[in-house]
């Protein structure tokens, strides 16, 4: 038996681990790019306001229709919050979809991304006191 066989096997295993790590890094970069290149816009239920979010969940724009100018201030505030909640839901769904489509090679990392996104982007049906 070759005394160096275990060493050769260990080297081959290390090379395979390096290939797997590079593949995982490439897949992770593709997922991140997909999420980071999009914006998420949503209208309020009454279509008075449209809110656009960037991939970081920060508001990039707010558009008011002429009808919004004739809306009572509290109703307009509620419509703006509604549009924002809807845009956040789109962003959250996009992250969830990207994670679902991630190959098995990204495994635990995709779960961590989804968990972080859910922490940062609360579901629209969560009461305000549950949100952080």
Categorize the per-residue pLDDT at 22 as very low, low, confident or very high, splitting at 50, 70 and 90. confident
- The 10s digit of each residue's pLDDT in 97-132 is 887 777 776 666 666 766 777 677 766 555 444 433
Residue 31: the pLDDT is 77
- Set out the domains of the chain in order of their start, with CATH numbers: 5-120 (3.30.1310.10)
Q: Scan for tokens 């005394």, then name that residue.
A: 3
Cα–Cα dist 56/65, whole Å: 25
Contact in structure between 43 and 50 (CB atoms under 8 Å): yes
The H or E element containing residue 40 is strand 40-43
Residue 115: the pLDDT is 72
Q: Is 45 helix (H, G, I), strand (E, B) or coil?
A: coil
For 67, the token pair is 């009808």
Residue 74: the pLDDT is 97
**What predicted TM-score, i.e. pTM, was given to this entire model?**
0.69
Residue 70 carries which DSSP code? G
- The 10s digit of each residue's pLDDT in 51-62 is 999 988 899 999
Q: Scan for tokens 């940062």, then name that residue.
A: 120
């Amino acid at each position: 038996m070759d005394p160096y066989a275990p060493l050769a096997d260990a080297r081959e295993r290390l090379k395979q681990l390096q290939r797997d790590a590079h593949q995982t890094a490439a897949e992770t970069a593709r997922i991140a790019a997909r999420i980071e290149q999009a914006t998420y816009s949503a209208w309020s239920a009454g279509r008075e306001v449209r809110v656009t979010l960037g991939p970081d969940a920060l508001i990039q724009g707010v558009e008011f229709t002429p009808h919004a100018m004739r809306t009572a201030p509290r109703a307009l505030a509620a419509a703006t919050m509604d549009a924002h909640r809807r845009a956040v839901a789109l962003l959250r769904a996009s992250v969830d979809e990207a994670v679902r489509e991630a190959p098995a090679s990204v495994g635990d990392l995709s779960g961590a991304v989804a968990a972080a996104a859910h922490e940062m982007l609360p579901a629209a049906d969560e009461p305000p006191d549950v949100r952080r």
